[in-house]
C-alpha cells in the first residue's frame, strides 16, 4: 500500500486507533498525519504506514491545497474529516 499526500487514512494501532487523519507528508516507511484537533498541522504525528489503512483518496478543496502546498487551516481539516465520518456512518447504517 502506497500512501500519498492528502489521502484520508484510518489509524490501526496506538492510542489514536480508529480515528481518521489526513496524510500531510510521506517519508519512506513513515507518514506524517494530522486531524486538526488532537494532531494539528504544526505538529503532525509520525506513524509507520503499516499502522495506517487507506480510507479514501480525497478529492476536495482541502486535499488540493495539501497537494499543491498551499496553506491549510486546522479548522478546514476538522470540517473535511467530520463530513467524511458522517458519510461513512450513513453508508454503514444504510446497509
Length of the chain measured in residues: 95
pLDDT at residue number 16: 95
CB atoms within 10 A of CB 11: 19
Q: Please tell me the pTM assigned to this model.
A: 0.91
Sketch out the chain's domains with CATH numbers: 7-94 (2.30.30.30)
pLDDT at residue number 67: 92
CB contact set of 68 (below 8 Å; sequence gap of 6+): none
Return per-residue pLDDT of the chain as tens, 95 residues. Answer: 689 999 999 999 999 999 999 999 999 999 999 999 999 999 999 999 999 999 988 788 999 999 999 999 999 999 999 999 999 889 888 76
Amino acid at each position: 500500500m502506497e500512501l500519498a499526500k492528502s489521502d484520508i487514512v484510518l489509524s490501526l494501532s496506538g492510542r489514536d486507533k480508529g480515528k481518521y487523519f489526513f496524510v500531510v507528508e510521506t517519508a519512506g516507511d513513515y507518514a506524517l498525519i494530522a486531524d486538526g484537533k488532537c494532531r494539528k498541522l504544526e505538529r503532525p504525528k509520525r506513524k509507520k504506514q503499516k499502522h495506517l489503512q487507506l480510507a479514501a483518496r480525497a478529492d476536495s478543496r482541502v486535499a488540493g491545497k495539501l497537494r499543491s502546498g498551499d496553506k491549510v487551516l486546522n479548522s478546514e481539516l476538522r470540517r473535511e474529516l467530520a463530513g467524511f465520518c458522517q458519510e461513512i456512518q450513513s453508508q454503514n447504517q444504510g446497509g
